[in-house]
Chains A and B, each alone.
Chain A
Amino acid sequence: MADAAVTSPAGAPTRARYGSMSRDRRWALRWSYFFLILFAIFFLTPPIYMFITSLKTSQEISAEINPWWVFNPTLNNYITLLTQNIFLKFFLNSAIVAVCTVTITMCISVIAAFSLARMKFWGSATLATGVFLTYLVPETLLFIPLFKMFAWVNETLGIQLMNNWWTLIILYPTLTVPFCTWIMIGYFASIPKELDEAALIDGATWIQTLTKIFIPVALPGIIAATIFCFTVSWAQFLYPLAFTTSTSELVLPVGIITTLIKGDVFNWGQIMTGALLGAAPPLIIYAFLMDYYIAGLTAGATKG
C-alpha cells in the first residue's frame, strides 16, 4: 500500500511557510503604534502645557526660559482660585446646570427614543429622522432667533429669561436631546423585538416594558448618552456667553475667561488652573464609566 503522507526526499514532512503573514502583522503593528503615539502627543500636549503653566508664578510664565519646565513649582494658583468665592460660584452654577440638563435630557430622550424605536405609529420614522436633522443645525444659527424668542417671552409674559443661569437649563436640552435621542434610538433598535413581545405577553404595559426591560438592558447606551450630555452642558461656551452677563450668573467656561482676562492682561497661571479644574469632573466621570461608554457607543452604532 502506498504511503499517504507527503514527505520530502529526505523523509522530513514538508510544511507550508506562513512567514510573510506574521511579517505583515508586525509592520501593521508598527504603523499602528506610530500613529497612536502621534495622536497621543497631539492630544496630550495642551493639557500637559496647561498643567505645567498652572504650577508657575506669573513672573516665571513671562520669563524667557524653557516654557516646558517648572523651575519654581507653586500651588498658589490653585489656592487663590479655590479660595475665591466667585470661582466656586461658577463651579456650582455649572454643576447645577449640568445635572439639571442631564436629568431633563435623559427623561425626554429615553422616552422619546423608546416610542420612536418601538411603538410604530404614523410618522414615527419621519420623526426619528427629524430628530437627527435637528442635531445637524449649528448652535451658532440658533442663538439669534433665541434672542428674539426671549424678547417675546419678556414682552408677553413678563418673564426675563436673559442673564439668568437657570435659562441655560432650558437652552441646553435643545442641543442634547436630539443627539441623545438618536443614540438611544440606535441602542433600543438593537434590542431584539421578541424581548418586548415576551414582556407584552407576560403582561407588562409599555411603561413597565420600558422601565423593567429596556432601561436595564440598554443601560450602557443610557450611560453613554448621559456622559455625552454632561460633557456638552459642562463645556458649552457660546450660549452662556451670549445669554448671561452678570458675574454671579456665569458658568465655569465663561466665568474663567471673563474674570481672569482683564482688558489685555491675561492671568495665564489662573486661567490654566481654572481650565484644568473645570476639566476634572468630566474626566473623573469618563474614567469611572469608560467601559460602559465604549460598550454603549459601539452597541448603538453597529445595531447588534
Chain B
Amino acid sequence: MAQVTLRKVVKKYDEVLAVRGIDLDIADKEFVVLVGPSGCGKSTTLRMIAGLEEITGGDIAIGGDVVNDVPPKDRDIAMVFQNYALYPHMNVYENMSFGLKLKRTPKNVIDQRVRQAAQILDITELLDRKPKQLSGGQRQRVAMGRAIVRDPKVFLFDEPLSNLDAKLRVQMRTEIKKVHQKVRTTTVYVTHDQIEAMTLADRVVVMNGGNIEQVGPPNELYHSPRTKFVAGFIGSPAMNLIPCQIEGAGDALTIRLSDTLSLAVPPSRVARYRAHVGKPNLLFGLRPEHLTETRQHLEADMQTFDVKLDVTEPMGMETLVYFNLNGIDVCGRVNPNAGARDGTSMKLCADMANMHLIDDKTELVL
C-alpha cells in the first residue's frame, strides 16, 4: 500500500511562502496531477514529497510512515525530470540499472527488471545506446524506464513532457497512461498544461499561490468548479466570465449582462440564486461550447440573442467566434457550417443549464 498523505505542509524560502499549509490524500495506485500556473507551488510540493526540498512545517507520509526527515533514497520513490536527467556517460541499460546496482541487487534480477521495463516502454533495441544518440521521446522513455525498474512505492513526474514538441507530447501522454495502467503505481504528476492534467489524472489538484484551490476528478473540476480560478484555469478556450446582475423576484430571475441583453435563469437554479438578487460583484460564467449557433429545436434552458462578431477562428471541426460585450471579449464555439464571418451579425444560443454564477469578491462559485 502506498498512499501519500500531506498534512498542513508548509514551505518557506526566506520570507516567501511557496506552499501555504496544504492537505492532500493520494490513494494507493491513484494517478494524481498537480496543475497550476508557474510559481503556484506545484513543483515545490512534488520535490518535498521526493525529499529534494526540506519541509518548513507539517507532515508528509508515504505508505503510512511520516518521511519528513527520511532522505530521498530511503523514501522508495522514483522521479522523472523535465530535462530527463539521464547520466550522459552511461548507456540506456546502465542508466536504468544504476539505482539497483547501488542497492546491490543481484545481477540476474537487475537484468530481468531492466529488460522487462524496456519491453513495457518498447526501448529494448536502444539498451546499448548513449543518451545523446536518442531522440527527445526516447530519452523520456528511458527516464521512465529508470523509474519503473526500481519498482518504487510512488512515481513522481516533474513536467516530463514540457521539453517535447506538441505532437510527441500527445503521443507520450498516451504512453504514460498506458504505462500506469500496466504497472499501477501511485503517481504524482506535475504539469502546467491543463489538458495534460485532464487527460491523465484520476484526480486533478489545482494549485494557485501556494494553496490548493480544488481537488477532484477531471470532469468534476470542469463542470463544477468551486472557485473563479478553477473556472478560468480549466478548459481551453477559457470560460467566459462576464460581470452581471441578478434581477427579478419570485420564480423568474434574469441575469443582466448589458443594457440590452438579459438571460433568464433556469428554473432549477432560481432558488439557489434568489439571495443574490441586486448584489454587486457578480460574474456570469459560461464555457464557449455552451455558446453555440442557434438551432431549430431549442431545449428548455437555451436562449438566443444577436451579436456582432469581431473575429472568427476556424479550427476545422469547429469555429471559435469572438464578440464584445460591455468591453469584454466573449468566445463561442459554433459549427463550421453555421456561416460565421468576421464583422457579421449572428444569432447565438446560450445553454443556461451549464451556467455558473461567481462572487467576484470571495472568488467562490455560488
Q: Which residues of A contact B (CB under 8 A)?
A: 192, 194-195, 197-204, 208, 212-213, 216-217, 219
Complex CA distance for A198 and B98, rounded to whole angstroms? 10
Contacts of B99 in A (CB 8 A): 201-203
Query: Given A203-B103, A204-B102, are A198 and B85 also a contact pair (CB < 8 Å)?
Result: yes
A194 touches B89 (CB 8 A): no
Q: Does B77 belong to the interface (CB within 8 Å)?
A: yes
B72 touches A208 (CB 8 A): no
Residues 69-95 (chain B) with a chain A CB within 8 angstroms: 71-73, 77-79, 81-83, 85, 87-89
Complex CA distance for A217 and B90, rounded to whole angstroms? 10
B69 → chain A, closest Cβ, in Å?
Answer: 15
A201 touches B72 (CB 8 A): yes
A164 → chain B, closest Cβ, in Å?
Answer: 41
Residues 261-298 (chain B) with a chain A CB within 8 angstroms: none
Q: Does B357 belong to the interface (CB within 8 Å)?
A: no
Given B73, B87, B89, which contacts A200 in the complex, CB threshold below 8 Å? Answer: B73
Chain B residue with Cβ nearest A215: B89
Contacts of B81 in A (CB 8 A): 194, 197-198
B85 touches A202 (CB 8 A): no
A202 touches B52 (CB 8 A): no
Could you pull out 10 A-B pairs where Cβ atoms are within 8 angstroms?
A: A194-B82, A197-B50, A198-B87, A199-B98, A201-B73, A201-B79, A202-B73, A202-B150, A204-B73, A204-B98
A201 touches B77 (CB 8 A): yes
A213 touches B87 (CB 8 A): yes
Name the prevailing secondary structure of the A interface residues: helix
Given B52, B78, B83, B150, which contacts A192 in the complex, CB threshold below 8 Å? Answer: B83
B102 touches A203 (CB 8 A): yes
Complex CA distance for A192 and B85, rounded to whole angstroms? 8
**Besides A199-B87, A217-B88, 13 other A-B contacts (C-beta < 8 A):** A192-B83, A194-B83, A200-B72, A201-B72, A201-B77, A201-B78, A201-B79, A201-B99, A202-B102, A203-B73, A203-B102, A204-B98, A212-B98
Contacts of A219 in B (CB 8 A): 89
Chain A residue with Cβ nearest B81: A194
Residues 176-205 (chain B) with a chain A CB within 8 angstroms: none
Residues 85-128 (chain B) with a chain A CB within 8 angstroms: 85, 87-89, 98-99, 102-103
A197 touches B85 (CB 8 A): yes
Residues 219-263 (chain B) with a chain A CB within 8 angstroms: none
Complex CA distance for A200 and B72, rounded to whole angstroms? 7
Complex CA distance for A200 and B50, rounded to whole angstroms? 10
Complex CA distance for A198 and B146, rounded to whole angstroms? 10
A197 touches B89 (CB 8 A): no
Query: Given A197-B52, A201-B50, are A208 and B85 also a contact pair (CB < 8 Å)?
Result: no
Chain B residue with Cβ nearest A202: B99
Chain A residue with Cβ nearest B89: A216
Complex CA distance for A212 and B88, rounded to whole angstroms? 11
Contacts of A217 in B (CB 8 A): 87-89
Q: Which 4 residue pairs spanning A and B have beta carbons closest together?
A: A202-B99, A194-B85, A203-B73, A198-B85
B79 touches A198 (CB 8 A): yes
Contacts of B50 in A (CB 8 A): 197, 201
Complex CA distance for A202 and B150, rounded to whole angstroms? 8
B174 → chain A, closest Cβ, in Å?
Answer: 25
A238 → chain B, closest Cβ, in Å?
Answer: 39
Complex CA distance for A200 and B53, rounded to whole angstroms? 12
Complex CA distance for A217 and B79, rounded to whole angstroms? 21
Query: Given A201-B50, A201-B78, A203-B73, are A195 and B87 also a contact pair (CB < 8 Å)?
Result: yes
Contacts of B71 in A (CB 8 A): 200
Contacts of A200 in B (CB 8 A): 52, 71-73
Contacts of A212 in B (CB 8 A): 98
Complex CA distance for A57 and B79, rounded to whole angstroms? 72
B102 touches A197 (CB 8 A): no
Contacts of B77 in A (CB 8 A): 201
Complex CA distance for A205 and B103, rounded to whole angstroms? 11
Complex CA distance for A217 and B86, rounded to whole angstroms? 11
Contacts of A198 in B (CB 8 A): 79, 81, 85, 87, 146
B179 → chain A, closest Cβ, in Å?
Answer: 18
Complex CA distance for A202 and B97, rounded to whole angstroms? 10
A208 touches B102 (CB 8 A): yes
Contacts of A204 in B (CB 8 A): 73, 98, 102
Contacts of A201 in B (CB 8 A): 50-52, 72-73, 77-79, 99
